[in-house]
Chains A and B, each alone.
Chain A
Amino acid sequence: MAEALLQLSDVHAAYGEVEVLRGLDLEVGEGEVVVLLGANGAGKTTTLRAICGMVGTRGSVRLAGQELVGRPTEWVIRQGIAHVPQGRGVFGSLSVEENLRVGAWNRRDTAGIQADIERWYGVFPRLAERRTQLAGGMSGGEQQMLAVARGLMGRPRLLLLDEPSLGLAQIITRELFRQLEQINREESVSMLIVEQNAELALSFAGRGYVLESGSIVLGGTADEVRGNEDMRRAYLGY
Protein backbone atom coordinates (compact mmCIF):
# COMPACT_ATOMS: atom_id res chain seq x y z
CA MET A 1 0.00 0.00 0.00
CA ALA A 2 1.31 3.43 -0.91
CA GLU A 3 2.12 5.65 2.01
CA ALA A 4 -0.33 8.44 2.85
CA LEU A 5 0.63 12.07 2.31
CA LEU A 6 0.84 12.66 6.06
CA GLN A 7 1.61 9.78 8.35
CA LEU A 8 1.89 10.06 12.14
CA SER A 9 3.09 6.92 13.90
CA ASP A 10 3.40 6.51 17.66
CA VAL A 11 3.78 10.26 18.21
CA HIS A 12 4.53 11.47 21.72
CA ALA A 13 4.70 15.17 22.51
CA ALA A 14 5.34 16.99 25.77
CA TYR A 15 5.49 20.49 27.16
CA GLY A 16 8.41 20.18 29.54
CA GLU A 17 7.65 17.17 31.75
CA VAL A 18 3.96 17.00 30.88
CA GLU A 19 3.27 14.45 28.16
CA VAL A 20 0.27 15.55 26.12
CA LEU A 21 0.34 13.16 23.15
CA ARG A 22 0.74 9.49 24.06
CA GLY A 23 1.39 7.32 21.05
CA LEU A 24 -0.82 8.90 18.44
CA ASP A 25 -1.36 7.36 15.00
CA LEU A 26 -3.08 9.28 12.23
CA GLU A 27 -2.91 9.67 8.47
CA VAL A 28 -4.12 12.01 5.78
CA GLY A 29 -4.16 10.76 2.20
CA GLU A 30 -3.36 12.75 -0.91
CA GLY A 31 -6.27 15.12 -1.61
CA GLU A 32 -8.14 13.94 1.46
CA VAL A 33 -9.96 16.01 4.09
CA VAL A 34 -9.65 14.61 7.60
CA VAL A 35 -11.25 16.01 10.71
CA LEU A 36 -9.78 15.68 14.19
CA LEU A 37 -12.35 15.81 17.00
CA GLY A 38 -11.97 15.77 20.74
CA ALA A 39 -12.82 17.56 23.97
CA ASN A 40 -10.99 20.65 25.13
CA GLY A 41 -7.51 19.77 26.28
CA ALA A 42 -7.45 16.44 24.44
CA GLY A 43 -4.34 17.48 22.52
CA LYS A 44 -5.71 18.54 19.11
CA THR A 45 -3.72 21.78 18.93
CA THR A 46 -0.67 19.95 20.19
CA THR A 47 -1.05 17.40 17.37
CA LEU A 48 -0.86 20.17 14.77
CA ARG A 49 2.06 21.74 16.62
CA ALA A 50 3.87 18.40 16.67
CA ILE A 51 3.49 18.12 12.90
CA CYS A 52 5.10 21.57 12.51
CA GLY A 53 7.94 20.97 14.95
CA MET A 54 6.64 23.46 17.48
CA VAL A 55 6.67 21.15 20.50
CA GLY A 56 9.14 18.54 21.71
CA THR A 57 8.11 15.42 19.79
CA ARG A 58 9.11 11.73 19.61
CA GLY A 59 7.92 9.13 17.15
CA SER A 60 7.48 9.65 13.44
CA VAL A 61 5.75 12.34 11.41
CA ARG A 62 6.22 11.83 7.68
CA LEU A 63 5.12 14.02 4.80
CA ALA A 64 5.24 12.17 1.48
CA GLY A 65 7.69 9.76 3.04
CA GLN A 66 9.97 12.43 4.47
CA GLU A 67 10.59 12.50 8.21
CA LEU A 68 9.65 15.83 9.85
CA VAL A 69 10.42 15.11 13.50
CA GLY A 70 13.51 16.95 14.62
CA ARG A 71 13.37 19.53 11.85
CA PRO A 72 12.93 23.26 12.53
CA THR A 73 9.50 24.74 11.82
CA GLU A 74 10.64 26.84 8.86
CA TRP A 75 11.97 23.70 7.18
CA VAL A 76 8.72 21.80 7.75
CA ILE A 77 6.72 24.67 6.27
CA ARG A 78 8.96 24.67 3.19
CA GLN A 79 7.99 21.05 2.53
CA GLY A 80 4.49 22.27 1.68
CA ILE A 81 2.55 22.58 4.91
CA ALA A 82 0.44 25.59 5.90
CA HIS A 83 -0.79 25.98 9.46
CA VAL A 84 -3.72 28.22 10.35
CA PRO A 85 -3.27 28.50 14.10
CA GLN A 86 -6.03 28.46 16.69
CA GLY A 87 -7.24 31.95 17.50
CA ARG A 88 -6.24 33.01 14.00
CA GLY A 89 -2.92 34.67 14.82
CA VAL A 90 -3.00 37.29 12.10
CA PHE A 91 -0.34 39.98 12.21
CA GLY A 92 -2.37 42.76 13.80
CA SER A 93 0.06 45.59 13.09
CA LEU A 94 0.48 44.60 9.43
CA SER A 95 -1.98 45.46 6.68
CA VAL A 96 -4.24 42.80 5.19
CA GLU A 97 -2.12 42.67 2.05
CA GLU A 98 1.12 42.44 4.01
CA ASN A 99 -0.35 39.50 5.91
CA LEU A 100 -0.95 37.76 2.60
CA ARG A 101 2.60 38.53 1.46
CA VAL A 102 4.00 37.00 4.63
CA GLY A 103 1.99 33.89 3.78
CA ALA A 104 3.97 33.68 0.54
CA TRP A 105 7.29 33.91 2.40
CA ASN A 106 8.84 30.86 0.73
CA ARG A 107 7.80 31.76 -2.79
CA ARG A 108 9.92 33.65 -5.32
CA ASP A 109 7.42 34.01 -8.19
CA THR A 110 6.43 37.68 -7.81
CA ALA A 111 3.81 37.53 -10.55
CA GLY A 112 2.29 34.35 -9.15
CA ILE A 113 2.13 35.85 -5.67
CA GLN A 114 0.32 38.92 -7.00
CA ALA A 115 -2.10 36.72 -8.95
CA ASP A 116 -2.84 34.66 -5.82
CA ILE A 117 -3.45 37.80 -3.75
CA GLU A 118 -6.01 38.93 -6.31
CA ARG A 119 -7.50 35.47 -6.35
CA TRP A 120 -8.15 35.45 -2.59
CA TYR A 121 -9.51 38.95 -2.81
CA GLY A 122 -11.97 37.51 -5.30
CA VAL A 123 -12.90 34.68 -2.95
CA PHE A 124 -13.11 36.93 0.14
CA PRO A 125 -14.22 40.36 -1.10
CA ARG A 126 -14.18 41.72 2.46
CA LEU A 127 -10.41 41.35 2.42
CA ALA A 128 -10.14 43.28 -0.84
CA GLU A 129 -12.08 46.18 0.66
CA ARG A 130 -9.69 46.26 3.57
CA ARG A 131 -6.42 45.50 1.85
CA THR A 132 -4.55 48.52 3.24
CA GLN A 133 -6.10 48.38 6.72
CA LEU A 134 -4.35 46.90 9.72
CA ALA A 135 -5.46 43.32 10.22
CA GLY A 136 -5.85 43.85 13.98
CA GLY A 137 -8.75 46.19 13.42
CA MET A 138 -10.91 43.67 11.55
CA SER A 139 -13.75 41.57 12.93
CA GLY A 140 -13.19 37.99 14.04
CA GLY A 141 -14.73 36.57 10.89
CA GLU A 142 -12.61 38.75 8.65
CA GLN A 143 -9.47 37.80 10.56
CA GLN A 144 -10.34 34.13 10.14
CA MET A 145 -10.74 34.53 6.39
CA LEU A 146 -7.44 36.37 6.28
CA ALA A 147 -5.75 33.60 8.26
CA VAL A 148 -7.05 30.95 5.84
CA ALA A 149 -6.13 32.98 2.75
CA ARG A 150 -2.71 33.70 4.23
CA GLY A 151 -2.15 29.98 4.79
CA LEU A 152 -3.13 29.20 1.20
CA MET A 153 -0.78 31.90 -0.14
CA GLY A 154 2.04 29.42 0.49
CA ARG A 155 0.42 27.01 -2.03
CA PRO A 156 0.60 24.14 0.45
CA ARG A 157 0.03 20.47 -0.30
CA LEU A 158 -1.37 20.07 3.19
CA LEU A 159 -3.41 22.63 5.10
CA LEU A 160 -3.69 22.35 8.88
CA LEU A 161 -6.65 24.25 10.30
CA ASP A 162 -7.09 24.68 14.05
CA GLU A 163 -10.72 25.42 14.95
CA PRO A 164 -11.44 27.68 11.99
CA SER A 165 -15.04 28.25 13.10
CA LEU A 166 -14.13 29.39 16.61
CA GLY A 167 -16.03 32.57 17.38
CA LEU A 168 -17.59 32.84 13.92
CA ALA A 169 -21.27 33.31 13.18
CA GLN A 170 -23.01 30.22 11.69
CA ILE A 171 -23.44 31.82 8.31
CA ILE A 172 -19.78 32.81 8.04
CA THR A 173 -18.68 29.37 9.15
CA ARG A 174 -20.78 27.80 6.40
CA GLU A 175 -19.29 30.14 3.80
CA LEU A 176 -15.79 29.37 5.03
CA PHE A 177 -16.35 25.62 4.76
CA ARG A 178 -17.86 26.04 1.31
CA GLN A 179 -14.65 27.80 0.27
CA LEU A 180 -12.48 25.12 1.84
CA GLU A 181 -14.44 22.42 0.01
CA GLN A 182 -13.89 24.22 -3.28
CA ILE A 183 -10.17 24.65 -2.62
CA ASN A 184 -9.90 20.96 -1.78
CA ARG A 185 -11.81 19.93 -4.90
CA GLU A 186 -10.15 22.27 -7.39
CA GLU A 187 -6.56 22.28 -6.14
CA SER A 188 -6.52 18.93 -4.36
CA VAL A 189 -5.06 20.57 -1.25
CA SER A 190 -5.21 17.96 1.50
CA MET A 191 -6.57 19.14 4.85
CA LEU A 192 -6.41 18.17 8.47
CA ILE A 193 -9.06 20.14 10.33
CA VAL A 194 -9.50 20.45 14.08
CA GLU A 195 -13.09 21.45 14.69
CA GLN A 196 -15.57 21.84 17.54
CA ASN A 197 -18.48 21.93 15.13
CA ALA A 198 -18.36 18.16 14.58
CA GLU A 199 -21.53 17.91 12.52
CA LEU A 200 -20.39 20.51 10.00
CA ALA A 201 -16.86 19.17 9.80
CA LEU A 202 -18.01 15.58 9.27
CA SER A 203 -20.32 16.64 6.48
CA PHE A 204 -17.29 17.92 4.60
CA ALA A 205 -14.53 15.52 5.65
CA GLY A 206 -13.93 12.09 4.18
CA ARG A 207 -12.65 10.61 7.41
CA GLY A 208 -12.50 11.54 11.07
CA TYR A 209 -10.54 10.75 14.22
CA VAL A 210 -11.51 11.24 17.84
CA LEU A 211 -8.72 12.16 20.23
CA GLU A 212 -8.94 11.53 23.95
CA SER A 213 -6.17 12.27 26.44
CA GLY A 214 -3.50 12.27 23.80
CA SER A 215 -4.34 9.19 21.77
CA ILE A 216 -6.81 8.22 19.08
CA VAL A 217 -9.82 6.35 20.46
CA LEU A 218 -11.82 6.19 17.25
CA GLY A 219 -11.04 6.56 13.57
CA GLY A 220 -12.96 5.86 10.38
CA THR A 221 -14.99 7.29 7.56
CA ALA A 222 -17.13 10.30 8.35
CA ASP A 223 -20.21 8.09 8.39
CA GLU A 224 -18.62 5.58 10.73
CA VAL A 225 -17.59 8.32 13.13
CA ARG A 226 -21.00 9.93 12.91
CA GLY A 227 -22.70 6.59 13.48
CA ASN A 228 -20.72 5.69 16.58
CA GLU A 229 -22.90 5.70 19.70
CA ASP A 230 -20.28 7.01 22.16
CA MET A 231 -19.19 9.59 19.65
CA ARG A 232 -22.74 10.89 19.22
CA ARG A 233 -23.26 11.24 22.92
CA ALA A 234 -19.91 12.94 23.54
CA TYR A 235 -19.63 15.34 20.62
CA LEU A 236 -22.82 15.60 18.66
CA GLY A 237 -25.20 15.86 21.58
CA TYR A 238 -27.95 13.51 20.36
Chain B
Amino acid sequence: MSPNIDNPAYLLTLLTGGLTNGALYALVALAIVLVYKTTSHINLAQGEMATLGAFAVFELTRRGVPVWIAIGIAFLLSFALGAGLERGLIRPLERRGVFPVILATLALFLIINAGVAIIWGTQPVEAPEPIPGGIEDKVDVLTGPPPFFVTYVSLGVLAVLVALLLGLWLLLEKTKLGLGYRAVAANREAAQVMGIPVGRMYMFGWGIAAALGTLAAALVAETAGTLDFNSMGVILIFGLAAATLGGFDSVPGAAVGGLVLGLVMAFVPGLFTVVEGDLSVVIALVVVLVVLLVRPQGLFGTKTLERV
Protein backbone atom coordinates (compact mmCIF):
# COMPACT_ATOMS: atom_id res chain seq x y z
CA MET B 1 0.00 0.00 0.00
CA SER B 2 1.10 3.52 -0.68
CA PRO B 3 1.68 5.67 2.44
CA ASN B 4 -0.43 8.40 0.80
CA ILE B 5 -3.58 6.35 0.70
CA ASP B 6 -5.50 8.57 3.15
CA ASN B 7 -4.28 11.81 1.61
CA PRO B 8 -7.18 13.44 -0.31
CA ALA B 9 -4.96 15.66 -2.45
CA TYR B 10 -2.98 12.62 -3.55
CA LEU B 11 -6.10 10.65 -4.44
CA LEU B 12 -7.62 13.59 -6.31
CA THR B 13 -4.40 14.03 -8.23
CA LEU B 14 -4.52 10.38 -9.27
CA LEU B 15 -8.15 10.88 -10.30
CA THR B 16 -7.56 13.91 -12.53
CA GLY B 17 -4.41 12.39 -13.98
CA GLY B 18 -6.24 9.15 -14.74
CA LEU B 19 -9.20 10.92 -16.33
CA THR B 20 -6.94 13.11 -18.47
CA ASN B 21 -4.93 10.20 -19.82
CA GLY B 22 -8.12 8.18 -20.13
CA ALA B 23 -9.71 10.91 -22.27
CA LEU B 24 -6.73 10.71 -24.63
CA TYR B 25 -7.04 6.92 -24.89
CA ALA B 26 -10.75 7.41 -25.47
CA LEU B 27 -10.10 9.72 -28.44
CA VAL B 28 -7.82 7.15 -30.06
CA ALA B 29 -10.31 4.38 -29.27
CA LEU B 30 -13.08 6.45 -30.91
CA ALA B 31 -11.00 6.72 -34.06
CA ILE B 32 -10.44 2.96 -34.13
CA VAL B 33 -14.12 2.24 -33.53
CA LEU B 34 -15.35 4.66 -36.23
CA VAL B 35 -13.25 2.84 -38.81
CA TYR B 36 -14.16 -0.60 -37.52
CA LYS B 37 -17.94 -0.10 -37.34
CA THR B 38 -18.50 0.17 -41.08
CA THR B 39 -15.46 -1.42 -42.68
CA SER B 40 -14.57 -4.06 -40.04
CA HIS B 41 -10.93 -3.07 -40.44
CA ILE B 42 -8.51 -2.12 -37.71
CA ASN B 43 -6.25 0.62 -38.94
CA LEU B 44 -2.86 -0.11 -37.39
CA ALA B 45 -1.61 3.20 -38.78
CA GLN B 46 -4.24 5.18 -36.87
CA GLY B 47 -1.66 6.40 -34.36
CA GLU B 48 0.96 7.28 -36.94
CA MET B 49 -1.56 9.18 -39.06
CA ALA B 50 -2.37 11.10 -35.88
CA THR B 51 1.31 11.85 -35.28
CA LEU B 52 1.55 13.18 -38.82
CA GLY B 53 -1.46 15.41 -38.12
CA ALA B 54 0.13 16.71 -34.91
CA PHE B 55 3.31 17.53 -36.85
CA ALA B 56 1.17 19.41 -39.36
CA VAL B 57 -0.10 21.49 -36.45
CA PHE B 58 3.49 21.98 -35.28
CA GLU B 59 4.63 23.05 -38.75
CA LEU B 60 1.75 25.50 -39.20
CA THR B 61 2.22 27.13 -35.79
CA ARG B 62 5.95 27.43 -36.45
CA ARG B 63 5.04 29.43 -39.52
CA GLY B 64 2.92 31.76 -37.44
CA VAL B 65 -0.57 30.27 -37.82
CA PRO B 66 -2.57 30.59 -34.56
CA VAL B 67 -2.69 27.20 -32.89
CA TRP B 68 -6.46 26.52 -33.01
CA ILE B 69 -6.60 27.55 -36.66
CA ALA B 70 -3.67 25.23 -37.28
CA ILE B 71 -5.57 22.42 -35.56
CA GLY B 72 -8.62 23.17 -37.71
CA ILE B 73 -6.56 23.00 -40.90
CA ALA B 74 -4.82 19.78 -39.78
CA PHE B 75 -8.23 18.35 -38.83
CA LEU B 76 -9.53 18.93 -42.37
CA LEU B 77 -6.33 17.68 -44.02
CA SER B 78 -6.46 14.53 -41.88
CA PHE B 79 -10.07 13.96 -42.86
CA ALA B 80 -9.06 14.17 -46.51
CA LEU B 81 -6.10 11.85 -45.94
CA GLY B 82 -8.20 9.26 -44.11
CA ALA B 83 -10.99 9.33 -46.68
CA GLY B 84 -8.48 9.25 -49.54
CA LEU B 85 -6.61 6.27 -48.11
CA GLU B 86 -9.85 4.33 -47.76
CA ARG B 87 -10.82 5.04 -51.36
CA GLY B 88 -7.41 4.76 -52.97
CA LEU B 89 -5.67 2.04 -50.97
CA ILE B 90 -7.95 0.06 -48.68
CA ARG B 91 -10.93 -0.49 -50.95
CA PRO B 92 -9.00 -1.88 -53.91
CA LEU B 93 -7.20 -4.26 -51.52
CA GLU B 94 -10.35 -5.29 -49.71
CA ARG B 95 -11.47 -7.43 -52.65
CA ARG B 96 -8.44 -9.62 -52.04
CA GLY B 97 -9.38 -10.29 -48.45
CA VAL B 98 -8.76 -9.05 -44.94
CA PHE B 99 -5.11 -9.98 -44.74
CA PRO B 100 -3.87 -7.61 -47.47
CA VAL B 101 -5.70 -4.78 -45.72
CA ILE B 102 -3.99 -5.52 -42.40
CA LEU B 103 -0.65 -5.62 -44.17
CA ALA B 104 -1.42 -2.34 -45.90
CA THR B 105 -2.21 -0.56 -42.63
CA LEU B 106 0.98 -2.01 -41.16
CA ALA B 107 2.94 -0.74 -44.15
CA LEU B 108 1.31 2.67 -43.72
CA PHE B 109 2.39 2.61 -40.09
CA LEU B 110 6.02 2.07 -41.08
CA ILE B 111 5.98 4.50 -43.98
CA ILE B 112 4.39 7.37 -42.05
CA ASN B 113 6.61 6.72 -39.02
CA ALA B 114 9.73 6.84 -41.18
CA GLY B 115 8.41 9.77 -43.22
CA VAL B 116 7.82 11.88 -40.11
CA ALA B 117 11.30 11.04 -38.83
CA ILE B 118 12.84 12.02 -42.15
CA ILE B 119 10.98 15.33 -42.41
CA TRP B 120 11.05 16.50 -38.79
CA GLY B 121 13.95 14.45 -37.39
CA THR B 122 14.05 11.99 -34.54
CA GLN B 123 14.62 14.56 -31.79
CA PRO B 124 11.53 15.68 -29.86
CA VAL B 125 10.20 19.13 -30.78
CA GLU B 126 8.35 21.48 -28.49
CA ALA B 127 4.64 20.68 -28.63
CA PRO B 128 2.20 23.35 -29.76
CA GLU B 129 0.02 24.53 -26.87
CA PRO B 130 -3.65 24.73 -27.85
CA ILE B 131 -4.52 24.97 -24.14
CA PRO B 132 -2.52 27.34 -21.87
CA GLY B 133 -0.01 25.00 -20.25
CA GLY B 134 2.16 27.22 -18.04
CA ILE B 135 2.94 26.63 -14.37
CA GLU B 136 0.23 29.09 -13.33
CA ASP B 137 -2.43 27.77 -15.71
CA LYS B 138 -4.40 25.80 -13.16
CA VAL B 139 -7.40 25.91 -10.87
CA ASP B 140 -6.51 25.60 -7.17
CA VAL B 141 -8.96 23.34 -5.38
CA LEU B 142 -7.34 22.48 -2.05
CA THR B 143 -4.86 25.01 -0.67
CA GLY B 144 -3.21 22.25 1.34
CA PRO B 145 -0.81 21.27 2.56
CA PRO B 146 -0.58 19.29 0.44
CA PRO B 147 -2.32 21.36 -2.25
CA PHE B 148 -4.53 19.97 -4.99
CA PHE B 149 -5.06 21.72 -8.30
CA VAL B 150 -6.37 20.89 -11.74
CA THR B 151 -4.44 22.16 -14.74
CA TYR B 152 -6.15 23.89 -17.65
CA VAL B 153 -4.69 21.16 -19.83
CA SER B 154 -6.56 18.46 -17.88
CA LEU B 155 -9.78 20.44 -18.00
CA GLY B 156 -9.26 21.21 -21.68
CA VAL B 157 -8.63 17.58 -22.64
CA LEU B 158 -11.77 16.46 -20.82
CA ALA B 159 -13.76 19.31 -22.37
CA VAL B 160 -12.58 18.30 -25.84
CA LEU B 161 -13.66 14.71 -25.20
CA VAL B 162 -17.10 15.79 -23.99
CA ALA B 163 -17.53 18.20 -26.92
CA LEU B 164 -16.49 15.55 -29.42
CA LEU B 165 -18.82 12.96 -27.95
CA LEU B 166 -21.67 15.42 -28.13
CA GLY B 167 -20.76 16.34 -31.70
CA LEU B 168 -20.48 12.70 -32.74
CA TRP B 169 -23.78 11.89 -31.12
CA LEU B 170 -25.50 14.71 -33.00
CA LEU B 171 -23.82 13.70 -36.24
CA LEU B 172 -24.59 9.98 -35.98
CA GLU B 173 -28.04 10.13 -34.40
CA LYS B 174 -29.55 13.31 -35.79
CA THR B 175 -28.35 13.67 -39.38
CA LYS B 176 -29.11 11.75 -42.53
CA LEU B 177 -25.40 11.14 -43.04
CA GLY B 178 -25.26 9.56 -39.59
CA LEU B 179 -28.31 7.42 -40.35
CA GLY B 180 -26.61 6.14 -43.49
CA TYR B 181 -23.40 5.46 -41.61
CA ARG B 182 -25.22 3.48 -38.91
CA ALA B 183 -27.22 1.57 -41.52
CA VAL B 184 -24.01 0.50 -43.24
CA ALA B 185 -22.56 -0.48 -39.87
CA ALA B 186 -25.67 -2.54 -39.06
CA ASN B 187 -25.98 -4.36 -42.39
CA ARG B 188 -23.77 -3.50 -45.30
CA GLU B 189 -25.69 -5.37 -48.01
CA ALA B 190 -29.10 -4.16 -46.92
CA ALA B 191 -27.76 -0.61 -46.82
CA GLN B 192 -26.54 -1.03 -50.37
CA VAL B 193 -29.96 -2.12 -51.65
CA MET B 194 -31.54 0.87 -49.93
CA GLY B 195 -29.47 3.00 -52.30
CA ILE B 196 -26.98 4.23 -49.72
CA PRO B 197 -23.59 4.94 -51.28
CA VAL B 198 -21.78 2.47 -49.04
CA GLY B 199 -18.30 3.42 -50.21
CA ARG B 200 -18.85 7.03 -49.23
CA MET B 201 -19.83 5.92 -45.72
CA TYR B 202 -16.54 4.02 -45.46
CA MET B 203 -14.69 7.16 -46.52
CA PHE B 204 -16.63 9.21 -44.00
CA GLY B 205 -15.68 6.79 -41.18
CA TRP B 206 -12.00 6.77 -42.13
CA GLY B 207 -11.96 10.53 -42.55
CA ILE B 208 -13.59 11.37 -39.24
CA ALA B 209 -11.35 8.82 -37.50
CA ALA B 210 -8.20 10.39 -38.92
CA ALA B 211 -9.40 13.87 -37.94
CA LEU B 212 -10.15 12.73 -34.38
CA GLY B 213 -6.72 11.10 -34.24
CA THR B 214 -5.01 14.36 -35.15
CA LEU B 215 -6.82 16.18 -32.39
CA ALA B 216 -5.87 13.41 -29.96
CA ALA B 217 -2.20 13.53 -30.98
CA ALA B 218 -2.06 17.32 -30.59
CA LEU B 219 -3.41 16.95 -27.05
CA VAL B 220 -1.15 13.98 -26.26
CA ALA B 221 1.81 16.12 -27.33
CA GLU B 222 0.70 19.01 -25.15
CA THR B 223 0.28 16.82 -22.05
CA ALA B 224 3.71 15.30 -22.71
CA GLY B 225 5.26 18.71 -23.47
CA THR B 226 7.02 17.40 -26.56
CA LEU B 227 6.20 15.76 -29.85
CA ASP B 228 8.29 13.19 -31.69
CA PHE B 229 7.89 10.60 -34.40
CA ASN B 230 7.03 7.91 -31.84
CA SER B 231 4.61 9.98 -29.75
CA MET B 232 1.57 7.86 -30.53
CA GLY B 233 3.21 4.41 -30.48
CA VAL B 234 2.20 3.36 -27.00
CA ILE B 235 -1.00 5.45 -27.07
CA LEU B 236 -2.25 3.35 -29.98
CA ILE B 237 -1.90 0.23 -27.83
CA PHE B 238 -3.90 1.88 -25.05
CA GLY B 239 -6.45 3.07 -27.60
CA LEU B 240 -6.83 -0.47 -28.93
CA ALA B 241 -7.16 -1.75 -25.37
CA ALA B 242 -9.81 0.89 -24.61
CA ALA B 243 -11.73 0.03 -27.78
CA THR B 244 -11.63 -3.67 -26.89
CA LEU B 245 -12.74 -2.91 -23.36
CA GLY B 246 -15.68 -0.83 -24.59
CA GLY B 247 -16.72 -3.38 -27.20
CA PHE B 248 -15.15 -2.69 -30.56
CA ASP B 249 -18.24 -1.31 -32.29
CA SER B 250 -19.56 1.06 -29.64
CA VAL B 251 -18.93 4.82 -29.59
CA PRO B 252 -19.92 5.30 -25.93
CA GLY B 253 -18.00 2.10 -25.17
CA ALA B 254 -14.81 3.61 -26.57
CA ALA B 255 -15.22 6.66 -24.33
CA VAL B 256 -15.97 4.68 -21.19
CA GLY B 257 -13.27 2.13 -22.03
CA GLY B 258 -10.68 4.88 -22.35
CA LEU B 259 -11.63 6.56 -19.09
CA VAL B 260 -11.73 3.26 -17.16
CA LEU B 261 -8.35 2.31 -18.52
CA GLY B 262 -6.89 5.71 -17.61
CA LEU B 263 -8.22 5.45 -14.06
CA VAL B 264 -7.01 1.89 -13.54
CA MET B 265 -3.58 2.80 -14.83
CA ALA B 266 -3.43 5.78 -12.46
CA PHE B 267 -4.77 4.13 -9.33
CA VAL B 268 -3.23 0.68 -9.44
CA PRO B 269 0.43 1.84 -9.49
CA GLY B 270 -0.53 4.86 -7.37
CA LEU B 271 -1.97 2.84 -4.49
CA PHE B 272 0.03 -0.35 -4.61
CA THR B 273 3.68 0.49 -4.46
CA VAL B 274 4.74 -3.00 -5.52
CA VAL B 275 3.39 -2.19 -8.98
CA GLU B 276 5.93 -0.14 -10.84
CA GLY B 277 4.67 2.59 -13.16
CA ASP B 278 6.26 1.07 -16.22
CA LEU B 279 4.09 -2.00 -15.84
CA SER B 280 1.18 0.12 -17.01
CA VAL B 281 0.92 -1.66 -20.37
CA VAL B 282 0.68 -4.98 -18.56
CA ILE B 283 -2.02 -3.62 -16.26
CA ALA B 284 -3.96 -2.32 -19.23
CA LEU B 285 -3.85 -5.69 -20.96
CA VAL B 286 -4.78 -7.58 -17.79
CA VAL B 287 -7.86 -5.37 -17.34
CA VAL B 288 -8.87 -5.99 -20.94
CA LEU B 289 -8.42 -9.75 -20.58
CA VAL B 290 -10.44 -9.89 -17.37
CA VAL B 291 -13.33 -7.93 -18.92
CA LEU B 292 -13.28 -10.07 -22.04
CA LEU B 293 -13.40 -13.26 -19.98
CA VAL B 294 -16.55 -12.05 -18.26
CA ARG B 295 -18.11 -10.25 -21.24
CA PRO B 296 -16.66 -11.41 -24.57
CA GLN B 297 -18.39 -8.59 -26.43
CA GLY B 298 -16.79 -5.90 -24.22
CA LEU B 299 -18.63 -3.50 -21.93
CA PHE B 300 -20.89 -1.96 -24.59
CA GLY B 301 -20.42 -4.16 -27.63
CA THR B 302 -23.52 -5.35 -29.44
CA LYS B 303 -24.72 -8.80 -28.76
CA THR B 304 -26.37 -9.76 -32.02
CA LEU B 305 -30.08 -9.31 -31.47
CA GLU B 306 -31.28 -10.61 -34.83
CA ARG B 307 -33.58 -13.57 -34.59
CA VAL B 308 -33.80 -15.91 -37.53
Binding site for B on A (CB under 8 A): 52, 54, 73-74, 77-78, 82-83, 85, 87, 89-94, 98, 101-103, 105-106, 134, 136-140, 143, 150, 154, 167
Which of under 10, 10 to 19, 20 to 34, or 35 or more describes the interface residues of B?
A: 20 to 34
Contact A73 B304 (CB under 8 A): no
Q: Considering residues B190, B305, B307, which has the most beta carbons from chain A within 10 angstroms of its beta carbon?
A: B190
Contact A98 B192 (CB under 8 A): no
- Nearest CB in chain B: distance from A130 CB, A: 13
Contact A77 B190, CB 8 Å, known A91-B183, A136-B305: no
Q: Which residue in A54, A93, A103 is a CB contact (below 8 Å) of B305?
A: A93
Contact mask B280-306 → A, CB, 8 Å, 1/0?
A: 000000000000000000000010111
Contact A83 B193 (CB under 8 A): yes
Contact B192 A92 (CB under 8 A): no
CA distance A18 to B302 in the complex (A): 35
A-side contacts of B193, CB under 8 Å: 52, 54, 73, 77, 82-83, 85, 89
Contact A91 B302 (CB under 8 A): no
Contact A134 B305 (CB under 8 A): yes
Contact A54 B192, CB 8 Å, known A74-B197, A101-B179, A102-B179: yes
Contact A102 B192 (CB under 8 A): no
19 A-B pairs with CB atoms under 8 Å apart are A54-B192, A74-B195, A82-B193, A90-B306, A91-B182, A91-B191, A92-B186, A92-B306, A93-B186, A94-B182, A102-B191, A102-B194, A105-B195, A136-B307, A137-B305, A138-B307, A140-B307, A150-B194, A154-B195
A-side contacts of B198, CB under 8 Å: 74
CA distance A79 to B26 in the complex (A): 43
Q: Considering residues A78, A83, A154, which has the most beta carbons from chain B within 10 angstroms of its beta carbon?
A: A83
A-side contacts of B307, CB under 8 Å: 136-140, 143
Contact mask B159-201 → A, CB, 8 Å, 1/0?
A: 0000000000000000000011011011101111111111000
Question: Quick one: closest B residue to A98, CB to CB?
Answer: B179
CA distance A93 to B302 in the complex (A): 8
CA distance A103 to B182 in the complex (A): 13
CA distance A143 to B179 in the complex (A): 19
Contact A102 B308, CB 8 Å, known A77-B195, A94-B186, A154-B194: no
A-side contacts of B194, CB under 8 Å: 77, 102-103, 105, 150, 154
Contact B185 A93 (CB under 8 A): yes
Contact mask B54-66 → A, CB, 8 Å, 1/0?
A: 0000000000000
Contact B190 A136 (CB under 8 A): no
